[in-house]
Structure 1
């Protein structure tokens, strides 16, 4: 059966990644129609990316019909999969998410802390609207959410939209597994990692190669300075005591929580020298789009990896392929807990290994959280739920509570001034807060 995929945020610089993924999987995942969708502000980028994608498909000789449009509802008709990669407010909004917290003495990062909170506030209403449209127009289609903060957004959509075929995807577990395979010098297909936790706060409890536990070998490599951080995160390394005491694989985002002072110092220095990460990415994107315009370019350029999206297409395309083919393989996704972790609510979204079937993911039971990380994960989940509550209610006090419960903020003397500046900066994209915050 031919497959139709709709990519929301089709003008993203990441789109060539997923186009490449579909091309490479034509034998097993017969995508015959792709529709790239964006908004008016992204019209020019959509056209540039669409023409590059067209050239890539032509070069590969793939039997794929491609078009691009600003009409989202029209595009959704007949969709089997809808993938989201949007950034409400663009990179300019991301720069504010990073710059303003730094000004107040907090970590400035696009998916963690106050920056991640406001990205969630801007994104959740938009994706709920999309999911409700899918419930009417293509109720059998799967929504594969790659938009950050992926865990929070996925949970919000599952709880507050009419559509329940929703799965969140992140490239961090995929990246970690591939990096571990490189560390152990073994094919990635032979490597398994038991992931426990939440999006951007997931731990690897065990590493296996052909069923043999190799966790200690990977921890030893990390202790020797091996780094598996993506392009958008500069790793600081981990102390021997941290690795030997925890005895689990940290993920690159853990530096924000376990090395907060050092990361803040590093980010402030980087900001003084080169601006925020968002401003660096703006330069990278400008160069990418200039390259994308080249009518001779008909492959994904290597420079895209500087954007931090390595393994994006594999994570997203593997998931769609496995659902379509009912493979029953194991992938790491963001999905409803449903008793998988006993310490968290059933309706909480967790990042976990799951068996992927045509009916969706079936999480593999974890049981109770390991004691060293139990409090941290339950704390982060409380923050996430408060963030969702605030995004829906439009209440300033709900937003305040979310900040209060976020481990990267938790300073009641500074929250008001931080919130006020962020709300002022993002007013155009936060209509749900109009009555209480902006009146």
Structure 2
């Protein structure tokens, strides 16, 4: 079986060690000959990469390993680019979240004004990596799970329409694992799902047991009605209160349409006032991450480097990230795996914009993907999606045209913002905060 060369773009991410361990756990079905790491922040990447290098030397010495800030070194001789970049890092995420909250608007990483600000930073970074890949390894595939995936996917559709990039998100994977547990199954892979929407903005319409085709929706609906995505664990026992609230609040999102099972992020659009009330404007999710995972991962990296050994390592394989290997394996070995991807609609949702980037099930093989048609969608979801996809398109318009007007329109149109005046105030603050990252708007 052929062994593959991979570059992890975003090598300095706190998720990178978990990705490396996850890749090693699946070597039986996706052999690896080389792992590279690439990041434009040399110092940050060095800490993560040196620790991962020690782990690889001790656990998989046959795998060649290097890390670099040089694009030619990173992207030459690779089969897959696994991209999870965060332009501006957590310092800018903190601003994305706190600036809207100053005006009583929710502050969130991928939703509302914060998501638009992040998108304006991410577009250029993702396009840059895609261009490096096409220059140095034109036969490679880029598996992009950089946020905000919806805006990034619209930008790559429009600006790099023939590129070998697949946009994918881990949130549905996580929620499907929770649904599998609701039904007493060991894995989401025991289910066959139908789903439609935009990224972080979608609904499951059918969930069946793969082995016999039996309908699992009644059981899942009953659980959602009582508990949302909570699985019987009291909220206070969850490590991160913000996520516990999100999983529990899915019960109220579900109540709006009990025929479908919703993505958790819909709470930000359907109950934005409640999201604001439950937010601390001085300590947001970015602060939680910086004080939690960020410190924990970098502390462990430094400990491994100082010891020169990964013995008693506290890194954990990012188990649910195995969807990345599923995608790579499907492309490499033509498995025709059924996966949720973010793709141009093109009629897959019959009564929706053909140019919209929608999230739907696809069959993935060596030639890319084939969309599984979802038919017509109900008026409620269609109306919400039309508003949100217009926001995403306007953000990409703003980036391409350097247009203040288009970004103001995008923020005004978002269901999370109730006034054009408020949208303008947030935008003006965002421009100042992002002066080193956004194109100059006029």
Partner of 2:64: 65
Structure 1 vs Structure 2 CA RMSD = 2.2
The superposition leaves residues 114-153 of structure 1 with CA deviations (integer Å, 9 ceiling, x where unpaired) of 0000100011012122222322222211111111011210
Which string of whole-angstrom CA distances, capped at 9 and with x for unpartnered residues, describes residues 252-299 of structure 1? 1111122221111001xx335xx1111121112023201122224358
Structure 2 match to 1:289: 298
Change (3 A) 1:238 1:330: closer
Deviation per residue, 1:317-357 (Å, 9 max, x gap): 21111111110120111122222112333332211111010
Where does residue 410 of structure 2 map in the other structure? Answer: 402
After superposition, the C-alpha distances for 1:373-431 in whole angstroms (9 at most, x for unaligned) are 1100111111111111111111100111111221111411212111100101110111x
Per-residue deviation, 1:241: 9.3
Change beyond 3 A, Cα 1:171–1:241: closer
Would you say the 8 A contact 2:360–2:372 is kept in 1? yes
- What is the CA distance between 1:315 and its match in structure 2? 2.1
Name the CA shift for 1:62/1:25 in 2 (closer, same or farther; >3 Å).
farther
Check if 1:266 corresponds to 2:275.
no
TM-score (norm 2): 0.90
Q: Which residue of 1 aligns with 2:117?
A: 118
Distance in 1 (CA, whole Å) between partners of 2:271 and 2:437 is: 32
Distance 1:351 1:162 in 2: 17
CA distance in 2, matches of 1:60, 1:76: 24
1:412–1:374 CA distance, 2 compared to 1 (3 A): same
Structure 1 position 60, deviation (Å): 2.9
Paired with 2:313 and 2:434, the residues of 1 have a C-alpha distance of 33
Task: Give the drift of 1:162.
Answer: 6.5
Conserved 8 A contact 1:139-1:163 = no
Change in CA separation of 1:16 and 1:158 when aligned onto 2, cut-off 3 Å: same
Residue equivalent to 2:263: 251
* Distance (whole Å) between structure 2 residues aligned to residue 261 and residue 409 of structure 1: 10
The equivalences for 1:208-357 within 5 A come to 208-210=208-210, 211-227=213-229, 233=243, 234-235=245-246, 236-238=248-250, 242-243=254-255, 245-267=257-279, 270-272=280-282, 275-284=283-292, 285-295=294-304, 296-297=309-310, 301=314, 311=320, 313-357=321-365
Match of 2:235 in 1: none
Deviates more, 1:159-168 or 1:235-244: 235-244
Q: Deviations over 1:184-229 (max 9, x none)?
A: 1113232122111011001111111131111121011122215259
Query: Does the residue aligned with 2:203 lie in a helix, a strand or coil?
Result: strand
Match of 2:234 in 1: none
Determine the C-alpha separation between the residues in 2 that align with 1:318 and 1:56: 23
Q: Which segments of 5 or more consecutive residues in structure 1 lack a partner in the other structure?
A: none
Residue aligned with 2:420, SS: coil
Q: Equivalent residue of 2:85, what SS?
A: coil
The Cα of 1:238 is off from its aligned counterpart by 4.6
Q: Which secondary structure does the structure 2 equivalent of 1:246 belong to?
A: coil
Question: Do structure 1's residue 195 and structure 2's residue 195 form an aligned pair?
Answer: yes
The farther-off stretch of 223-232 and 120-129 is: 223-232
Q: What is the aligned partner in structure 1 of residue 150 from structure 2?
A: 151
Aligned partners of 2:381 and 2:71: how far apart in 1?
Answer: 41
CA distance 1:207–1:279, change in 2 (3 Å): same
Q: State which drifts further: 380-389 or 158-167.
A: 158-167
Q: Which one of the candidate residues 359, 377, 381 is aligned to 1:373?
A: 381
Aligned length: 423
Q: Distance in 2 between matches of 1:345 and 1:245?
A: 22
Distance in 2 between the 1:73 and 1:24 partners?
A: 29
Runs of 4+ aligned residues of structure 1 deviating over 4 Å after TM superposition are: 228-232, 238-242
Contact 2:123 2:155 in 1 (8 A): yes
d(CA) in 2 for partners of 1:299 and 1:75?
Answer: 30
TM-score using structure 1 length? 0.91
Partners of 1:6 and 1:76 within 8 A in 2: yes
Preserved CA contact (<8 Å) 1:177 1:192: no
Q: Distance in 1 between matches of 2:37 and 2:424?
A: 40
SS at match of 1:293: helix
Alpha-carbon distance in 2 for matches of 1:382, 1:419: 17
